Structure 1
Amino acid sequence: MLPEKHIGVCLLTTTPAKEMIDLAVLADQKGLDGFWIAEGYHYFRNLGEPSSSTSLAAAMAMVTSRITIGLGIVPPYTRHPGLLAMECHTTSRLSDGRFIMGLGAAKAAALHMGWTEKTMRAAPTIRESIGLVRELLDGRPVDYHGEIYKLDAPATPDKQLGQVPIAIGATGPLMIKLGGEIADIVLLPTFTSPGFVTLARELIAQGAAKSQRSADTIPVGGTLPFSVAEDEASARAAIRRLTVVYVANKVQNIKNDTLLKAAGVDEDEVKKIAACVKNEGPDSAAKMLSDDLMDKVAIAGTPTQVTDRLLEFADAGLRWPLLYGVLGPDRREAIKLIAERVRPAFMAN
């Protein structure tokens, strides 16, 4: 049974690998609920050289004792379901059952690896991928010939094999409904606002109805760009560069403007920032980021300020916030602030 509330931190794998593991140990010691890993591909190289999320998850499993380790997210285009099932089994066993697999389209990265809008077929691909992973983790014989994947495997003699919770990272209506239908957790994207959470929960309920389950049993989370410090100005300055990189990513990734409209974002403003990121780089684009836009797409400020924002999301139904990105001007201090000041207030309300 998954908990009703969960606060995790989530870092892109362009963060140096040893730093990621050290931060996971600190988060584990300080009492955070989850440490989530967002796999960054070479598309994000301007933020740092990317590492493998599953390798990092396995390493974290060996040096932590209580914290949940989640992938938020990996796409099905880089890993066959057979490989995903092996990675689920391995990391779950190494962590004594503390692992959550997160799958999503990661559309911008997929487009940079040669996939097209037509060939991606995100919803059917993820549906088949999750179905195959679960079949393999059941240990039964598999003889699968689907539209996307093929796989055959005998039954396993391993009596310790077991299911792993699977999250779907979803932006568009088809994927959000699919999450409600088959996922254990639905993770909403960066740029998520309380208004978008309300819209998404309606779609999750529609998907849940297809599988005859209650949407209230499906935790809703999201990767929320986040920065906290005792000094508000320092917290806001720390997240400016990452915010514009994700503005550019979302402009490429989003087909319709529902996500932007729900956040009250001016589409022309974000398109200009995205063009600047492409032509001049994120440092130049960061100078174009207004305080108003930052407040619509990121959570930055003092512990009290960020807690108030997180409670707005909780009121809308997002109770698994994954605090994403820089975390603060000093990541170690930010994790301590989240654990000591933000999490207790969030959990109490």
Structure 2
Amino acid sequence: MSTNADTEPTVGIELTPEHPIERIAELAVLAEDEGFDIAFASSHYFNRDPFVALSRMADATDSIRLGPGVVNPYETHPVKLAAQTATIDEFSDGRAVFGIGAGDRSSLANLGIERERPLRRVLETFRVARDLWAGETVSHDGTFAASDASLNLEPASGRIPVYVGAQGPHMLRMSAKHADGVLVNAAHPRDLEWAAGQLEHGLDERSDDRGAFEALAFASVSVAADEAAAREAARPPVAFIVGGAADPVLDRHDIDREAASSVGDALSKGDLTDAFDRVTPAMIDAFCVAGTTAQVADRFDAMLDHVDGIVVGSPLGPELDDAIERASEAIGRARGSRGSRQ
């Protein structure tokens, strides 16, 4: 499916700045010690600033790559996003990656922002960012405007990899054609197999000078010693995933549309307890990798049939440090299982 098919799977982790910045830095250190390759700081207007978190993560770590996962080009001007990411690259001695996506429509609506022409906006954002990182002065008139914009710094790495957060067919195809990687918003092999087919269409149109492309599953994961505890911790993120899931995705997993709508309605009313209670076992199975270390390892193994790596996303598990260690062990088991079959 990808241009990196024969390499060792990339392993990333999502750290959500709903916790104090120093705690996020501690978790980044643990993730680095556990062998994770990339740490993404998620970006939501109601949490702590991801770039502040990334700067502290960079200061606390030595080798793990770091980036926003993912920012959107509506809340912040794309030129400013390019500058912020270049700053992280400089401060981390060239370890930055740029996670960019269209953003959550409902969250943007809370800020009075309409998510117009999302595919073009994302594509134009990272194209302009690449030019700015290359030291160019940029004028742009498209889904956003910039006139004679330039940065007073250059990335230490020389080239910051761009990962596009994607779920729909058009964004997936665009990412494969133009970006360095994709963060597929899915946790089930069935969804990842479908996404791989969409990515193939984009890869068919990818120019040779773009270099290698990496497909990563950006998956909700909840792992613990006790399966029931892991699945219970999965309820909040699964509720939000279900609330925004398109009908074809629900149909792919035989999830009742009315049941999904009831979750979304409760979320829109702000009744989180009711929304979480309405999450069914089938929804958890479809939208989260939830269970014991062994169960999660088996699911990771199946997911890696369709992607080049996995980003272990929120909630991680009921206890964060334990979950990071267990997720690392699960990845190791999945790698070992795959190696034994080759």
Give the TM-score, by structure 2 length.
0.88
Relative to structure 1, the CA distance from residue 288 to residue 96 in structure 2 (aligned partners, 3 Å threshold; closer, same or farther) is: same
Q: 2:288 aligns with which of 298, 302, 323?
A: 298
Give yes or no for contact 2:188–2:288 (8 Å, CA) kept in 1.
no
What does residue range 41-52 of structure 1 map to in structure 2 within 5 Å?
41-42=45-46, 50-52=47-49
Q: 2:87 aligns with which of 87, 90, 96?
A: 90
What does residue range 116-265 of structure 1 map to in structure 2 within 5 Å?
116=114, 120-153=116-149, 160=156, 162-190=158-186, 192-213=187-208, 217-248=212-243, 250-251=244-245, 254=246, 257-265=247-255
Tell me what 1:45 maps to. none
Give yes or no for contact 1:313–1:319 (8 Å, CA) kept in 2.
no
Root mean square deviation of aligned Cα? 2.5
Give yes or no for contact 2:242–2:283 (8 Å, CA) kept in 1.
no
Relative to structure 1, the CA distance from residue 159 to residue 221 in structure 2 (aligned partners, 3 Å threshold; closer, same or farther) is: closer
Quote the Cα distance in structure 2 between the aligned partners of 1:225 and 1:155: 35
Relative to structure 1, the CA distance from residue 168 to residue 137 in structure 2 (aligned partners, 3 Å threshold; closer, same or farther) is: same
**4+ residue runs of structure 1 moved beyond 4 angstroms?**
1-4, 154-161, 213-216
Quote the Cα distance in structure 2 between the aligned partners of 1:246 and 1:344: 27
Quote the Cα distance in structure 2 between the aligned partners of 1:229 and 1:304: 10
Quote the Cα distance in structure 2 between the aligned partners of 1:155 and 1:95: 18
For residues 241-295 of structure 1, the C-alpha deviation after alignment (integer angstroms, 9 at most, x for no partner) is 33223322x14xx4xx233233333222111122223336222222222222211
Q: 2:27 aligns with which of 23, 30, 39?
A: 23
Give the superposition deviation at 1:313: 1.0
Query: Which of the two has greater helix per residue?
Result: 1
For residues 166-196 of structure 1, the C-alpha deviation after alignment (integer angstroms, 9 at most, x for no partner) is 0111122221111011111111124x43222
What does residue range 333-344 of structure 1 map to in structure 2 within 5 Å?
333-339=322-328, 341-344=329-332
Tell me what 1:11 maps to. 15
Quote the Cα distance in structure 2 between the aligned partners of 1:147 and 1:330: 42
Quote the Cα distance in structure 1 between the aligned partners of 2:111 and 2:153: 37
Quote the Cα distance in structure 1 between the aligned partners of 2:28 and 2:190: 31
Give yes or no for contact 2:300–2:330 (8 Å, CA) kept in 1.
no
Quote the Cα distance in structure 2 between the aligned partners of 1:244 and 1:145: 38
The answer to whether structure 1 residue 61 and structure 2 residue 62 are counterparts is no
Quote the Cα distance in structure 2 between the aligned partners of 1:19 and 1:229: 20
Give the superposition deviation at 1:147: 4.7
Tell me what 1:324 maps to. 313
Quote the Cα distance in structure 1 between the aligned partners of 2:231 and 2:166: 27
Where does the alignment leave 5 or more consecutive residues of structure 1 unmatched? 43-49
Matched residue of 2:140: which SS? strand
Q: 2:43 aligns with which of 23, 39, 45?
A: 39
Q: Which amino acid aligns with 1:177?
A: R
Give yes or no for contact 1:196–1:263 (8 Å, CA) kept in 2.
no
Q: Which amino acid aligns with 1:115?
A: I
Quote the Cα distance in structure 2 between the aligned partners of 1:301 and 1:147: 43
231-240 or 8-17, larger mean C-alpha shift: 8-17
Quote the Cα distance in structure 2 between the aligned partners of 1:21 and 1:157: 25
Give the superposition deviation at 1:220: 1.2
Count residues with an aligned counterpart: 332
Relative to structure 1, the CA distance from residue 4 to residue 180 in structure 2 (aligned partners, 3 Å threshold; closer, same or farther) is: farther
Relative to structure 1, the CA distance from residue 345 to residue 114 in structure 2 (aligned partners, 3 Å threshold; closer, same or farther) is: same
Quote the Cα distance in structure 2 between the aligned partners of 1:243 and 1:321: 18
Q: Which amino acid aligns with 1:79?
A: T
Give the superposition deviation at 1:105: 0.7
Q: Which amino acid aligns with 1:337?
A: R
Quote the Cα distance in structure 2 between the aligned partners of 1:127 and 1:324: 24
Relative to structure 1, the CA distance from residue 145 to residue 161 in structure 2 (aligned partners, 3 Å threshold; closer, same or farther) is: farther
Give the TM-score, by structure 1 length.
0.87
Matched residue of 2:262: which SS? helix
Tell me what 2:275 maps to. 285
Tell me what 1:81 maps to. 78
Give yes or no for contact 2:188–2:289 (8 Å, CA) kept in 1.
no
Q: Which amino acid aligns with 1:338?
A: A
322-331 or 142-151, larger mean C-alpha shift: 142-151
Quote the Cα distance in structure 2 between the aligned partners of 1:200 and 1:214: 24
Quote the Cα distance in structure 1 between the aligned partners of 2:10 and 2:158: 23
